[in-house]
Structures are given as structure tokens and as C-alpha cells.
Amino acid sequence: MDMKLEVLVIPVSDVDKAKDFYVQLGWRLDADFATEKGFRVVQVTPPGSDASIIFGDQVSASAPGSVQGLQLVVNDIEAARAELVAKGADVSGVWHDADGVFHHAGEDNRVAGPHPDRASYGSFLSFSDPDGNGWIVQEVVTRLPGR
């Protein structure tokens, strides 16, 4: 049976501010529903993604900004950085992990610049939403077999 990742829930403090941020990045607004009892759910989807994120009022018990390591994949890390900057995101420089396997938690082991060989899965950048939920963008040009 296939199981596909559909939605990730992220905690935010200001739903409209988060909505504006993600829509400004070019993410598709899929839903914005509210009830009279104060429940509100907003769903947005990154360009080209099958998976979405949801945030809102009364949709998460986690502290706003507590989700880290959300990961997006692009085929050109430099172009992705330029686009995110142009759309107003506060984006890190491109970096790679000193061990060359996968990035460490936080900013440990980061080396400035793309992977020396521009190897797929080797170059990253990071940004956060207004609450501090952390995103990593990874460059994948050629996927490993079976992926």
C-alpha cells in the first residue's frame, strides 16, 4: 500500500502573518477556513509539491516556531536562494556539511558555499517563517536509484 506524505502541521502565533509570508513566497493558497468558535485552518503548498503545510488557530498544541528541519528540495540551490530573497525571505547563504553526508542539527558543521563537487544532496540553505519554524532547502539534481 502506498502511503504518501500529505500535510505537515506547523504552529504559528499570527495566522494572517504566516499566511502572508507563505503566499508571498509563491506558495499556493489551498484553503482558509474558519468557524464561529475560533477554529481556523490555512493550507498552503510549495510550488511543485504534492505535500502541503497547515497552520491556524487551534490546530496545534506546539509552541509557535518550534518546528525545525522542514525540508524542501530544489534542482538549483543558487536559483532557489535568489528567488527566496527576491520574495522577501531572510535566507542563509548556501552551505554544505563538513562531513558530506547530511546536515547536522542547528548550524553545527556548516561550511560556506555549495558542495565542492556540486553533488546531489550536498548543498543547502535555510530560512525561517515569521515565528521561527525552520526550513532547509536541499539541492538534488540527480536522485539516487529508487527515489
DSSP bridge pairs for 106 = none
pLDDT tens by residue, the chain, 147 residues: 999 999 999 999 999 999 999 999 999 999 999 999 999 999 999 999 999 999 999 999 999 999 999 999 999 999 999 999 999 999 999 999 888 777 878 788 888 999 988 888 889 999 999 999 999 999 998 766 766
Give the helix ranges, DSSP H, for the chain.
15-24, 77-86
pTM score of the predicted model = 0.92
List CB contacts of 4: < 8 A, sequence separation 6 or more: 50, 51
**Dihedral (C-alpha) 67, 58, 130, 92: value to the nearest 10 degrees?**
20
**CB atoms near residue 104 (< 10 Å):** 12
Structural domains in the chain?
7-57 (3.10.180.10), 70-139 (3.10.180.10)
